[in-house]
Structure 1
C-alpha cells in the first residue's frame, strides 16, 4: 500500500507551491525547453530524439495523387479502383511526411494528489507534459493529447497549432485544480485512455504516457503492449519517495473517505514489506520497457524536473544504435 493522502500531522506544501499547477505556469514552461534537448539535438541519443528520428512504423508517407502507371512503378501502389473505372492502370503517388503527431497522455487523478518533495506528483506530471508539448511544437510537430484520471476523458486532437497545445494545457490545469483527497481514483481511467489512444493514433505517431507509477496493472500492461505495435511509446511513470520507502518515524496515521490506517514504521518487517512492493512496481515497469524496447523515464517529486530529464537524456534507450 502507498500513501494516497496526507498523513495526519504531515505539513503539506503551501497552496500554489507545488500542490496545484496553473495555466500560466504551464505556459511558462516553454522557456525551459532550451534547457533540455528533447527534439533539438539529432546528434544526441536521447529517448525522444531517438524515437523522433527512427523509421516510422508503417509507410511513413502521405498520399499525394494518382497518375497513369509507368514502367518501373511499384505494382503494390496500383490503385485498383481507378484502374477498374478507367480500364487503364493507375498508380498512387506518396510524399514523405514532414511531421508526426505527438500525443501526450497525462494522468490527473486523486492518487497523484500527493507529494513529500518539491511538488505533488500531479504537478510533476503536468509540468513534464507541458515541456514535451512545447518542445514538440517548436519542432513543428503536431501536438495533442488526453487528460485522464477522474471523470470523463479530456482529449485534444493533434494539430500543429499553438492554440491546440494551449487547449490541452488548459484542460490539464483545470483537472489539477479539481483534485482533492476526498475523491476516488477511477480504476478504469488508464485503460480507457490507452484504448482511446489506440483508436485515435495512426502508425508513426509518438505517444508519451505520463502516469502514476502505481497505475501499471494487468489490463494497462496489455493495452500498452497493443498500443506499442502501432505507435512509438515513451513511458514516464511518476513517483514520490514515500511511495517507495517508509521512514522510521513511529506510528503513521493515514485517513481517507472516513477510513483510517495506522502503520508502525518502527517495525522493520513493515518497512521491508512496503519497500518490496515498491521494488516490484519499479521492476514491472522495467520489464515492460525492456520487452517492448521502449524508453523509460521515471520521475520523482524530490528533484528538479529538468535535472532529471537531463539525466535520462544521457542514457541510450533500448534498440538505439551507438
Structure 2
C-alpha cells in the first residue's frame, strides 16, 4: 500500500504550515482596513462596468476612492465629499486558482515553486476571509482539477487548503504533463464565477499558452484579476555547471551549460516569457506580482504592496 511522502520543509507543504499562514496576514496589507488602504482596493473599484453590486452605505470620501462613486446629493447636503460603498467592497467572491503540477516540483532557491505557490494561496485565502470575503478556488495540475465554491467560512478555506496539500504531497517528476492545465482551469473559472468576482491566478511562469492567454482575456471582461506567475532563478539563467545529463522515462538529453550560444538562447526564452506576461497585464489592465523562490514570499508581497512602509529603506 502506497504511503504519502512526509512533509519536507521547502520541498513539500503540510497543512499545519498553511494554517500557520493565518498569523502572517498582518505582515502585509493585502486588503484595505478602515485605517489603511491597500493597492488591491483598486480591484474593487476599477471595473464596475454595470455589475450587479448592491448599495451598502455612504461614508466620507477618502483619497483613492473612485470619483464615479461620489454621492452628490449627500455631498451637497453636508458640504463634504461622500462616496457610496457597495456590498461588493465588503463581501465578494475571491477565487484562488493555484497550480500544483510537475513543472512546479522544482526549486534552486529557498523552496520549490510548488511550495511557494501553496504558501501564497494560503496567505491570500486567510487575508480574504479576514476581510469578510467569500473564499473558494481551484487546485489544478497534471490531469487534476479540484474545485471549492466560494463561501465565507473557515471550513471552505480549510477544504481548499486540504486539497492543496494532498495534491502537493503527491507531486512527482514522472507525472505526465497536461498540455494546457491553466487554460482548462481558467475556462472552468469562467463557468462558475459571477461578475464582480476577484480571480487570483497563481501558476508557473511557463504556463502562459495561447489558450490560457485567451481565457484570461475573456475572464477579465467580467471579473477582476490578480496574476502571480511563479519562477525559480534557474528558469531564467543556466548555471555554469559544464555538461549536464538528464533522463526521463527512457529518454536522455545532454546540455552543455558552458556553451555561450546555449546560455544566450536560454536567457532569451526566459525574457520572452516575462515580456509576454507584462504585455498581457498591461493589455488587460490588471495587477501582476511575479514571485520567485529566491526570496521569502511575504517580503516579495511587501515590496509590491507596501513599498513605502515607515522604517523601510527606499
Per the normalisation by structure 2, the TM-score is 0.82
Q: Which has the higher contact order (CA 8 A, sep 6+)?
A: 1
Distance 2:92 2:48 in 1: 9
Aligned to 1:236: 228
Residues 148 and 189, structure 1, Cα contact 8 Å, conserved in 2? yes
Looking at structure 1, the residues matched to 239 and 39 of structure 2 have their Cα atoms a distance apart, in angstroms, of 33
Give the CA deviation at 1:185.
1.5
Identify the match of residue 100 of structure 1 among 92, 95, 109: 92
1:33-71 Cα deviation digits (max 9, x unpaired): 0001000347766542321354634334259xxxxxxxx
Q: 2:258 aligns with which of 258, 266, 269?
A: 266
Aligned-pair RMSD on alpha carbons? 2.1
**Counterpart residue number, 1:157:** 149
Deviation at 1:219, TM superposition (A): 0.6
Within a 5 Å distance, the mapping from 1:165-184 to structure 2 comes to: 165-184=157-176
Matched-pair contact (CA < 8 Å) for 1:108–1:122: yes
8 Å Cα contact 2:112/2:293 also seen in 1: yes
Alpha-carbon distance in 2 for matches of 1:281, 1:153: 25
Determine the C-alpha separation between the residues in 2 that align with 1:262 and 1:43.
57
Corresponding residue of 2:113? 121
Aligned to 1:140: 132
2:241 to 223, 229, 249: 249
Shift of 1:247: 1.5
| Residues 270-315 of structure 1: CA deviation (Å, up to 9, x unaligned) | 1000000000000000000001101110000010001100111146
Say if 1:250 and 1:265, in contact at 8 Å, map to a contact too.
yes
Task: Quickly say closer, same or farther: Cα 1:60–1:153, change in 2 above 3 A.
Answer: same
Give unmatched runs, 5+ long, in structure 2: 1-5, 56-85, 309-314
Residue 115 of structure 1 deviates from its aligned partner by 0.3
For the Cα contact (< 8 Å) 1:45–1:313, is it kept in 2? no
Aligned to 1:17: 9
1:289 to 2:281 alignment: yes
Bigger mean CA deviation after superposition, 306-315 or 219-228: 306-315
CA distance, structure 2, for counterparts of residue 298 and residue 165 of structure 1: 23
The structure 1 residue matched to 2:199, chosen from 190, 204, 207, is: 207
Label 1:255 to 1:27 Cα distance change in 2 as closer, same or farther (>3 A).
same
Given that 1:45 and 1:314 are in contact with CA atoms closer than 8 Å, whether structure 2 keeps it comes out as: no
**Taking structure 1 as reference, are residues 187 and 44 closer, same or farther at Cα in structure 2, changes over 3 Å only?**
farther
Q: 2:78 maps to what in 1?
A: none
Partner of 2:190: 198
Size of the aligned set, in residue pairs, is 273
Q: Cα offset for 1:96? A: 4.0
Q: 1:29 aligns with which of 11, 18, 21?
A: 21
CA contact (8 A) 1:210 1:238 kept: yes
TM-score by length of 1: 0.80
How many Å separate the matches in 1 of 2:18 and 2:203? 17
